[in-house]
Amino acid sequence: MRLLLWVVASLFLMWAQVVDAENVVSDFDDGTLQGWTPEPPFYGDLFVATPGNPGLSMQATDNLPMGGYLLARAPVSYTGDLSDRFGISWDEWVIDYGAPTIYSTDVRIEGMDGTIYRTDNAPDLMDAWNQRFARFEEEYWFLQEGSASFADVLQNVVALYMQMDVTALDNGILESRVDNVTLLDPPATPSRLTTWGEIKARK
């Protein structure tokens, strides 16, 4: 009986490791943007620096007069048919400058016809790391522009973006940090499911 339990536990651990290995992750800890690129027009700078959560993170500055949002485009590994994916998670650090308008980062997916859906960008804790999560279900997303259904866009995502600009300031200094951008492959491990459940409960 003990042998059987050991075999079952070992198989479960092996399965969990395979699941984690299938996730697409950008942690920026090699000192590069890992395929992320500024999406034109990009009025600022996109770079890798400390702090991360942990290690390094992707960061953005804005030098556009009167502010404006900056989009970082994900590498192609974040595109294609995402309908069999669980969702996407990321860590964010939003700088609080006391500006009249401060938003958190958000993720945007674009379909073949230009339709774009995005996650919410309601601020969470300022000047601290926050974990964000959006399941690939329509209730987590808002229609930004276009008319295609969420299901149709999800089946053929041509681009995935991270909004990096978060304030309406023209100060040319750091505005946001993003780390551990993870395209999640189901099923999730129990520890992550607990975290996601807590995140969903806050919405």
Domain parsing of the chain, residue ranges = 23-202
Residue type, 43: Y
Instruction: Say if residue 188's pLDDT is above 70.
Output: no
SS3 call for 127: coil
Query: Is the bond preceding 65 in cis, omega lying within 30 degrees of 0?
Result: no
pLDDT attached to residue 3: 44
Give residue-wise pLDDT tens across range 40-89: 988 889 999 999 999 999 999 887 766 667 899 999 999 999 999 999 99
Burial (0-12, 13-18, 19+ Cβ within 10 Å), 46: buried
- 33-42, 126-135, 185-194: least confidently modelled range: 185-194
SS3 call for 119: coil
Residue 115 tokens, joined: 């339709």
Q: How confident is the model at residue 141 (pLDDT cuts 50, 70, 90)?
A: very high
The 10 Å Cβ neighbour count of residue 70 is 25
Instruction: Say if residue 202's pLDDT is above 50.
Output: no
pLDDT attached to residue 91: 96
The domain 23-202 having CATH identifier 3.10.350.10: the answer here is: no
Quote the distance between the C-alpha of residue 69 and its chain's center: 16
- Alpha-carbon dihedral sign for residues 149, 76, 27, 187: positive
pLDDT attached to residue 169: 66
Q: What gap in Å lies between CA 102 and CA 203, rounded to an integer? A: 18
User: What is the four-CA torsion angle of 169, 140, 71, 165, rounded to 10 degrees?
Assistant: 20
Q: How confident is the model at residue 99 (pLDDT cuts 50, 70, 90)?
A: confident
More confident residue, 112 or 5: 112
**DSSP strand E in the chain: where?**
24-26, 37-38, 44-49, 57-62, 71-73, 87-94, 106-110, 116-118, 129-135, 142-145, 159-163, 174-184
The 10 Å Cβ neighbour count of residue 97 is 16
Q: H-helix or E-strand containing 199? A: helix 190-202
